[in-house]
Amino acid sequence: QAYSDIIAELKHRGVLRTKNVLGELGEHLVIDHYNSTPGLPKLQLAQTGTENVDATSRQGERYSIKSISRNVTGVFHGLNPPASNGSQKQLFEHVIIAKFNDTYQLEMIIELGWAAFLKHKKWHKRMRAYNLVLSKALLEDSKVVFEGSSS
């Protein structure tokens, strides 16, 4: 019962819009952090159901936000498969990864651009889509926007 009460309260406060609790929490915390931190772009939520775009900046840049509690993101659909020779349409300008620890405290927020995303994306054969692995190489090509004390 306590869990359902918490979910109901988070929906009432506008933190949750869907049943993807970790994803919604990550989007909420990322947007709040960006909007309250000088020097970072001001973000607003994209329409629910917009594929690969979770937020947009006032300058019109598109952001895909992924929340993780381990080291692998959810998948990105709409990209050319590995054997494709066609040019890849740019689906967003930035990926933001919100990394949570085992008790769902925010550990870090990192941001990478489209070129770094293309460099580090990994094919998920079963899902027939790409994901990202939070590796040392990916971190080196990313900007750490927030780092909590537990990292």
Q: What is the pLDDT of residues 131-140, one digit of tens each?
A: 999 999 999 9
Provide the token pair at 113. 């651009």
Confidence of residue 151 (pLDDT cuts 50, 70, 90): very low
CATH fold for the domain made of 2-147: PvuII Endonuclease; Chain A (3.40.210)
Q: Is 107 left (phi over 0), alpha (psi -120 to 50) or beta?
A: alpha
Contact 59, 41 (CB under 8 A): yes
pLDDT at 145: 98
How do the domains of the chain map onto residue ranges?
2-147
